[in-house]
Structure 1
């Protein structure tokens, strides 16, 4: 939500054993605040941006955990412009050869305000704070401001979202009379509006997450926050993860609200919050979700405080789906917390030719490509993202994020025509269905590979999980899902889940991994 102070010349991280990493993945020094991080993947590289008082820094990485400074992406506009200072919460989307940065800013003219362990506002006029846009032809910038703001009221924390049908939406944060808590206390909340073909908003924002829970308040009272939206779609439903509470304190956490339509109605999940302070990291929040180098495994990148030190540092944890919503990091129950322990590096692409399901992510240029015979129009000399996912029964093809084709029957990860600029091919099966089982009933998923395979699934009740030579007995609560993970170093013919008693199984994910 607020500003960083300065950019160090290099990332400083603790030493980790080979094949692992330790959070934070970006800590540029004890005087630096890296609030509101956002990561863009483009042509196989990652670009990280975060808030700044007068500029937005950009860092780059090839693996999501080792970051190097890459300069300044955006600076505050000259005097008299609406976006002079306090450049907050940048998110960048790539469209047709252009990089569009959604970022909030304001004019000079306000007092400096402290914000606990985070950098506060520094001389900007809070009443003139607006959500706007800057543009560039490179992810490194320089980005150039639009002349006028996108939203003509107090607004921050924009999050662009592309639906399966290609429609574009903007989630963002506002503070007005409607976003007050029911008791009248000041608060801010998230709304969503449609993005028109010319980039303007339709002007019909609808509520998504407004203050309602005790944990969303300042610990000393006086204000509530629902902010920092990030929206994903699964099971045909929309899940918005948002940050609640005071960003400058330890109570800052992540919550979830859910809807069957992008325009709602939205309902907050019953288990709140889902990601909170832990023993090593406090105040985790304002996250984004990107994919690992394998092109498909989701990772959440967020800020948090390490110990009692000043400034929010950048952290990365795997994101799982756990039956009734997303979960950050490992743990059998929610809320989870940043562990502070070594984690396996984000996975690289691994293709096992003996496994039918796959996920292919390819940046391409040219007029057209064929994905195992399915034609996809490209963008000529401008990079175009083509994704193909096969679950063993049907092939789904996306172009720049939107679904353009579905085909039943066998499929192969083959591209014909067009030039591949970067690609990642991984053997992966993702089954988002829920299975309700009686004692003795099974869920079986064929695999067939000889390379190491990892598995995650959500379980409620008692089950026996078999993956290759690995066997796991799970006794989960009957009224709530728990995340279960296991792996088989020698591969597996299949995954078999057998109900010992009444049980539910959901969100089965299998993926080939490197030996």
Structure 2
């Protein structure tokens, strides 16, 4: 009888865990296609073996299922293309009926493609040519051109932009332009030598370009999100005085940052991001979304209590 009760309790516990556990994705992004939301990110769940990019799905942003990637839950699994370690910060987008994933591996940037948001995303095993280490890609389309916003590891983590070739195989090096690096006090709360700005996300509204980014080392509780504006994809970028607009001070969670803007029903604007696991532990980092509002050129959180944790 004791063993029977134990089995029931174990089954209940495992079922409850499966239904209520947080999604442990850092550097997350959410891509919507045909009414389904797909969540990708840097894998933080140590219980899931192998390396690559998992994907979870939802139709309401509250109930998530997965991982549902084409290969053992992975949309891109190590071996599907470029990379042997450090699979970080994916971005998924669609062009002409093909789905693409820009991602970091081996501290370089690569782009893979698939016929489904679930993958498998594959490439020929090559990264984008670069003379320095580079991470955190974000592909942006504007006026018939393709731009790669990314972080170059050169005297700090600095955000750059460059126009890309039409086939996404390389940047046009003559267009490479620095956007921002850490200068403001909130961007370097520990006064480090190697400062950090990373996780760029760009969108355009009413002729103005908005660059959202994170600053400080991700292990720092003060990791936070600010933004800058410009009238050109290349800048010059003016950092907004409202920064940081996502932070531990505002949300009461440490390590808030490195995410992506996306839009839900009724064109509601959201930001998906990660936080530290707790006040004491950085990882596994947890995934959350929060509603944003924009008035004129100012971006703010709609309500600090509106944070939604992504969970199964």
Instruction: Note if 1:65 corresponds to 2:62.
Output: yes
* TM-score (ref. length: structure 1): 0.51
Aligned match of 1:339: 305
Question: Which of the residues 193, 207, 215 maps onto 1:222?
Answer: 193
Question: Is 1:39 the counterpart of 2:30 in the alignment?
Answer: yes
2:163 corresponds, among 194, 199, 210, to: 194
Larger of the two Rg values belongs to structure: 1
> Counterpart in 1 of 2:209?
238
Cα 1:9–1:342 change in 2 (3 A) is: closer
Output one character per residue of 1:88-122: Cα deviation in whole Å (capped at 9) or x when no partner: 0000111112111000101xxxxxxxxxxxxxxxx
What 5-or-longer segments of structure 1 have no aligned partner? 1-7, 14-26, 107-128, 181-186, 331-337, 344-515
Q: How many residues of Structure 1 are paired with residues of Structure 2 in the alignment? A: 277
Q: Match for 2:290 among 299, 307, 317?
A: 317
Query: 1:99 matched to which residue of 2?
Result: 99
1:274 deviates by 1.9
- Alignment CA distance shift 1:342-1:84 (3 Å): closer
Where does residue 51 of structure 2 map in the other structure?
54
Other structure's SS at 2:165 match:
coil
Determine the C-alpha separation between the residues in 2 that align with 1:273 and 1:51: 23
Q: CA deviation at 1:266?
A: 1.4
The CA deviation at 1:322 is 3.0
Residues 47 and 58 in structure 1, CA contact (< 8 A), matched pair in contact too:
yes
What's the CA shift for 1:209?
1.5
- Contact preservation (8 Å) 2:288, 2:307: no
Structure 1 partner of 2:20: 12
Residue equivalent to 1:393: none
Mapped contact 1:300–1:328 kept (Cα < 8 A): no
The answer to which structure, 1 or 2, has the higher relative contact order (CA under 8 A, 6+ apart) is 2
Which residues of structure 2 form unaligned runs of 5+? 1-15, 44-49
Structure 2 partner of 1:298: 269
More strand by share: 1
Q: Secondary structure at the match of 1:142?
A: coil
C-alpha distance in structure 1 between counterparts of 2:198 and 2:19, whole Å: 28
Give the corresponding residue for 1:253: 224
Write the distance in 2 (CA, Å) between the matches of 1:157 and 1:148. Answer: 17
How far apart, CA to CA, are the structure 2 residues paired with 1:173 and 1:140?
26
CA offset digits 1:220-245 (Å, max 9, x no partner): 62321110001111231111010001
Q: Structure 1 residues 265, 211: closer, same or farther in 2, change over 3 A?
A: same
The alignment yields a C-alpha RMSD, in angstroms, of: 2.4
Cα contact 1:91–1:158 (8 A) shared by 2? yes
C-alpha deviation, 1:9, in angstroms? 8.2
* Residue of structure 1 in register with 2:85 after alignment: 85
The Cα of 1:325 is off from its aligned counterpart by 2.2
Displacement, 1:151? Answer: 4.0
Offset at residue 82 of structure 1 (A): 5.0
Counterpart position of 1:286: 258
Decide which of 269, 272, 276 is 2:247's aligned counterpart: 276
What SS does structure 2 have at the residue aligned with 1:35? strand
C-alpha distance in 1, partners of 2:111/2:189? 30
Write the mapping of 1:178-193 to structure 2, written as runs, cut at 5 A.
Answer: 180=155, 187-193=156-162
Contact 2:82 2:124 (C-alpha < 8 Å) held by counterparts: no
Matched, 1:155 2:125: no
Matched, 1:136 2:114: yes
114, 117, 124: which one aligns with 1:146 = 124
Secondary structure of residue in 2 paired with 1:36: strand
